[in-house]
């Protein structure tokens, strides 16, 4: 699997379970993120961003979202960026990560989902 297939009903259902168990504590049950998510905390990190259409998650291609989830935010951030996003690669199988991302995507309005799909396709074509 190389993308978060929001059209796969079984994958989305699995993703809802995984998101609820692993992601909702920080990113919110409704994908709303933490308050003041754009304001740095005392340690230099940012609060967990929303994964709904009000955040920036949909601005990123599927593969980057997968890499951030699997390897953590620090591994995928610019030098000096402090990230509180942990790596889930040791806890979740790749399919589980793709499932959680598919669940996030299914919650976006259709125009947002289409735009994010175009971003992901463009990146895949460049490889």
What are 62-103's pLDDT values in tens digits? 999 999 999 999 888 888 888 999 999 999 999 999 999 999
Q: By 3-state DSSP, what share of the chain in percent is helix, strand and coil, each rounded to 5? A: 50, 0, 50
Average pLDDT rounded to a whole number, residues 35-57? 94
For the chain, how many residues are written? Answer: 127
Of the pLDDT bands very low, low, confident and very high (cuts 50, 70, 90), residue 1 is low
For the chain, domains (ranges, CATH) are 9-126 (1.10.760.10)
Q: Residue 39 pLDDT more than 90?
A: yes
Query: pTM surpassing 0.75?
Result: yes
């Amino acid at each position: 699997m190389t993308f978060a297939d929001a059209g796969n009903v079984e994958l989305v259902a699995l993703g809802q379970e995984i998101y609820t168990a692993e992601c909702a504590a920080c990113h919110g049950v409704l994908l709303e993120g933490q308050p003041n998510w754009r304001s740095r905390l005392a340690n230099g990190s940012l609060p967990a961003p929303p994964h709904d259409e009000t955040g920036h998650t949909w601005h990123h291609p599927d593969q980057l979202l997968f890499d951030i989830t699997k390897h953590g935010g620090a591994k995928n951030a610019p030098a000096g960026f402090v990230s509180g996003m942990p790596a889930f690669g040791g806890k979740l199988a790749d399919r589980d990560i793709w499932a959680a991302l598919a669940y996030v995507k299914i919650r976006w309005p259709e125009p947002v989902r289409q735009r994010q799909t175009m971003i992901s396709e463009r990146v895949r074509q460049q490889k």
